[in-house]
Amino acid sequence: MGRLMNGREYLESLRRLKPTVYFMGRRIESVADEPMLRPHVQAAAMTYELAHDPRYEELMTATSHLTGEKINRFTHIHQSPEDLVKKVRMMRLLGRKTGSCFQRCVGLDALNSLYIVTYEIDQKLGTDYHRRFVEYLKKVQREDLMCSGSVTDVKGDRSLRPHQQPDPDLYVRVVERREDGIVVRGAKAHQTGAANSHEAVVLPTRALGPEDRDYAVAFSVPIDAPGLIQVFGRQTNDTRRLDGEIDCGNPNYGIVGGETLMIFNDVFVPWERVFMCGEHEFAGRLVEVFATFHRQNYGGCKTGVADVLIGASALLAEYSGIAGSSHVEDKLTEMVHLAETCWCCSLACSYLGHRTPSGAYLADPLLANVVKLNITRLPYEWSRLAQDLAGGLVTTAPSEKDLRSPEVGKLVEKYLARKKGVPPEHILRLFRLVENLSLGGQLPECMHGAGSPQAQKIVIRRRAGMEEKKELAKRIAGLERDEHLEKLG
Ligand code: SF4
Ligand code: FE
């Protein structure tokens, strides 16, 4: 019988792994204990910790449809539209608790996508992928593992297909097929949470033709598999972590996800962990299903983070003596409206989810893409409003070191003061939080996470039902008969 890890046990489980992770030219000894990674690790740890709080149990846990056991919802296969709704409610909750990206959703989405698409491959081609995948999924559920969802290849020259690239490794591919498994080579970019995952779950990044069949590969490996090398990316203001607490803005949970360049340098994958190998005609379907699931999320996690930013803006207004003035109220209301608009979209695409042949439920693809396209725009607007409300100190505030300085500290405090009784340090902390949430990596992540805006527009246009809309217009404009109207006599 499996058991749900809590946050501390998650940290301990990471210490038992030995992934190869580099940052700033040096090898990271322990992902769980490295100060540069620690905030991201703590954000991910909340996906474990909150599952043990009775107040959040209904959202954070589920019953496995495979074993009947209680599992963390981050390893669950959605069995109904209600499950899809609980998923985005869980994400809003975690966004509110961390003010950051808690990373574990990408693996959840990769697991659900593979569950759906391996079934479809087997149905059409008589392969054995779904059984293999279900066995793997049972292990993930039983051991409460965090998986990366490794999709985005580095892609090289964007005008060339994978097999046309001068360097064939710019998309992850099979370089050797052996009796006991395959050997893969290539690299995935922007891998959220991968450094602190237990497992890497890898999917193709695009639709593929027959010449690209070596690139049609999906599999999983332990995160410390030989040949798997990660390079942790820089983030805006990341070294503030080494300078103390206040300047970070969100010292405990970080600056969005914490991404790595994930290099598969001839990694061996046994057949039991291979979930697609050469079935190029299913690569597009796998990508579309994954994108639907991941785009569904953003009106959950990002609105949770927006709740924190709106709260910080309201507190700063209060502490500055401008709360209640009509322009402040108007801007705060506008921020709430923008955030709740995104939330509506996430709920809508979840409620309109449908059953796939595998039995698992998938969010509505058109509306999921609308969610994500809104997230490439509306957070810029609510961040603009937060900066407008806060004022210039968002970018000019003195450092924590100056606040604590024996020479100048008292003067910094004196001139940071706002309303009587509010400690100046609290003012500084709130400005730094607004800075963290409205600048830095937050906005590019909203733009490109789960795919860039053009990717969403392609799906929206394809699924818009334009022919049907034209028919509607023809009837109303009198170009065609209106059978119902005729019945009125
Ligand atoms: Fe989850 Fe949001 Fe982070 Fe994506 S950006 S991994 S959906 S928290
Ligand atoms: Fe993301």
Nearest to 72 by CA among 150, 151, 147, 149: 147
Name the stretches of the chain with pLDDT < 50: none
Nearest to 101 by CA among 191, 11, 164: 191
Sequence-distant (6+) residues with CB within 8 A of 224 are 17, 18, 19, 20
CA 52 to each of CA 11, 60, 186, 387: distance values in angstroms, whole numbers, following the listed order:
15, 8, 38, 36
CB 269 within 8 Å of CB 221: yes
Which of 94, 101, 152, 376 has most ligand 1 atoms within 8 Å of CB, for mutation? 101
Give me 218's structure tokens.
Answer: 């999906």
Whole-prediction pTM value? 0.97
Q: 219: which strand partners?
A: 202, 274
pLDDT for 151: 97
CA 19/CA 41 separation, integer angstroms: 14
In this structure, the residue with its CA closest to atom 8 of ligand 1 is 101
CATH for 286-468 is 1.20.140.10
Q: What is the gyration radius of the CA atoms in the chain, in angstroms?
A: 24
Nearest to 39 by CA among 441, 425, 378: 441
Residue 476 C-alpha from the chain's centroid:
43
Count H helices and E strands in the chain, helices first: 18, 14
Q: Is the CB of 379 under 6 A from ligand 1?
A: no
Bridge-based pairing state of the strands 199-202 and 147-150: parallel
DSSP letter for 233, please: P
CA 340/CA 60 separation, integer angstroms: 22
Structural domain spans, the chain: 7-281, 286-468
CATH for 7-281 is 2.40.110.10
* Domain 7-281 identical in fold to domain 286-468: no
Neighbours of ion ligand 2 (CB under 5 A): 449
Q: Is the CB of 299 under 6 A from ligand 1?
A: no
pLDDT for 2: 65
Torsion of CA 209, 211, 212, 217, to 10 degrees: 90
CA 332/CA 211 separation, integer angstroms: 54
